[in-house]
Copies of this chain bind each other. A is one copy, B any other.
Amino acid sequence: MTKEQDIARGSLSCAKCPLRKREIFRVFEADELSFVEHFKKGDLAVRRGATLLVEGAHNPHLYTVRSGWGFRYKLLEDGRRQIVNYVMPGDLVGLQGSLMGEMQHSVEALSPMQLCVFEKAELFTLYERFPGLAYDITWLASREECMLDEHLLTVGRRTAVEKVAYLLAFVLDRAKESGLSSNGTLELTQQHVADTLGISLVHTNKTIARLVDRKYVKWEDGGCRILNPEGLGELAGWMSGSSAKRPFL
C-alpha cells in the first residue's frame, strides 16, 4: 500500500490545472486560487488496484481527485463488501475522516489516479479565510449525500434490471461530466457492479446478459460499452441530475 503511493511536491500550478478548464467547474477568484495553491501540499499517484484509504485508519490528509477514478467501500467482518460510491475527478476524498476522526470506509483505485494532497489540519484556516471555499466544500458533501440517497433507493427498492441500468447510467453520466469517459466505455468488473448493487456475482452476470440482449450495453474485455444511456435511465426510472456548475478543490 505504501509502495504504490508516491507523494511529490506539487509541481503543477493550480491556476493551470487542466481540470479547471472544464466548463462544469465554477471559476475561482485569484485569491482563492492562490490560497488553494498554498493549501495544496503535494501530489499523490496511485496505481490501479491500490488502496488509497483504509477503513479504521487515521489519515492526516485530504485529497482531490485530479485524474482517474476509484470507489469507496465498506466491509463486513466476514468479507462481504458494499461499494458505497465512486470517486471521480473533482471529487473530494477523505473529508469524513478529516471531520470525524477515523475513516469509516476504504477507497480503492479503479485506474491509475492522480490526486492533490491537502493537510486536514489546515482545513479550519480555509473556513476562516475563504467562506466561499468553505461553502463549496459543504456543497460537495451535500452532493455526495444526494447520490447516496439515490443509491439507497436503488439498492433497496429497484429490481435487479433497474439496478444495473441505474448504475451504468449513473456512472457513465458522472464519468462524462468529469471528463473520464468520452467514448461511452467504463472499465469495471461485474464484481464491482454486484458489490455496488447488493446482488450476487452470478445474478449480476445474468442480469447484464439481459441488457446485452436488448442492446443497451455491450460487455467487452474488462469493461463495458454503453450503447444506449438514455434507454438505461428510462429503464431505471432515473434522470441525470442537474449539471449546474460545481466547485472543486
A interface residues, Cβ below 8 angstroms from B: 72, 74, 76-77, 80-82, 84, 95-96, 99-101, 104-105, 124, 127-128, 131-132, 134-135, 137-139, 141-146, 148-153, 155-158, 195-198, 237, 242, 244
- Cβ-defined contact, B99 with A149, below 8 A: no
Q: Which of A101, A145, A244 has the most CB of B within 10 A?
A: A145
Residues of B near A127 (CB, < 8 A) are: 131-132, 134-135, 138
Question: A98 to nearest B CB, angstroms?
Answer: 8
Q: Which of A134, A138, A144 has the most CB of B within 10 A?
A: A138
**When chains A and B are docked, how far (Å) is the Cα of A58 from the Cα of B133?**
24
* The residue from B81, B105, B237 contacting A76, defined by CB atoms under 8 A apart: B237
With both beta carbons as reference points, the residue of chain B lying nearest to A101 in the complex is identified as B242
* The residue from B77, B82, B131, B135 contacting A152, defined by CB atoms under 8 A apart: B82
* The residue from B81, B96, B105, B237 contacting A142, defined by CB atoms under 8 A apart: B96
Q: A81-B157, A149-B84 are in contact. Are A143 and B100 (CB under 8 A)?
A: yes
A-B contact pairs, 16 of them (CB 8 A): A95-B138, A96-B142, A99-B142, A100-B143, A100-B244, A101-B244, A104-B150, A124-B131, A124-B135, A127-B131, A134-B134, A137-B138, A145-B148, A148-B148, A151-B152, A152-B152
Question: A134 to nearest B CB, angstroms?
Answer: 5
Question: A160 to nearest B CB, angstroms?
Answer: 13
Residues of B near A144 (CB, < 8 A) are: 145
- Cβ-defined contact, A149 with B74, below 8 A: yes
**When chains A and B are docked, how far (Å) is the Cα of A156 from the Cα of B148?**
12
* The residue from B74, B124, B156 contacting A150, defined by CB atoms under 8 A apart: B74
